[in-house]
Amino acid sequence: MEFLIRDILEYINGAITCAMKDPAATLLVLMFLLLVIITPGRKNVEKVLILLITCFIYLILTSNVLARTYIYAYRRYSFQLFTGDFYEMLENILLFFPLGMLMCGLDFNTTPVHFSKERKSYRFIRFIISMAFAGIFTCVIELLQFYLRVGVFTLDDLLCNTTGAALGYGIVFAVVMIVRKIKKGKSETGTEKLNEQRKNA
Average pLDDT of the residues in 104-125: 70
Same structural domain for residues 201 and 117? yes
If asked whether residues 57 and 88 sit together in one domain, one would say no
Q: What whole-number distance in Å separates Cα of residue 122 and Cα of residue 19?
A: 38
Res 110: pLDDT: 74
Residue 129 scores a pLDDT above 80? yes
On the 0-12 / 13-18 / 19+ scale of CB atoms within 10 A, 134 is: buried
Together in a domain, 116 and 192 = yes
Residues 200 and 117 both lie in one domain: yes
Please give the Cα distance from 171 to 20 (Å, whole number).
Answer: 36
Parent domain of 178: 78-201
Residue 127 has a CB neighbour count (10 Å cut-off) of 18
Asked if residue 201 has pLDDT above 60, the reply is no
Q: Tally the domains of the chain.
A: 2
Does 83 lie in the same domain as 118?
yes
Q: Which residues, listed in sequence order, are joined to residue 76 by a DSSP beta bridge?
A: 152
Q: Is 166 helix (H, G, I), strand (E, B) or coil?
A: helix
Query: Residue 80 contacts by C-beta under 8 Å, 6 or more apart in sequence?
Result: 155, 156
44 in the same domain as 13:
yes
The per-residue pLDDT for 172 is: 92
Identify the pLDDT of residue 173. 92
Whether residue 15 contacts residue 59, with contact meaning beta carbons closer than 8 Å, is answered with yes
Q: Mean pLDDT throughout 163-172?
A: 94
What pTM was computed for the model? 0.79
Of 2 and 76, the structure prediction assigns the larger pLDDT to: 76
* pLDDT tens-digit series, residues 85-95: 788 888 889 88
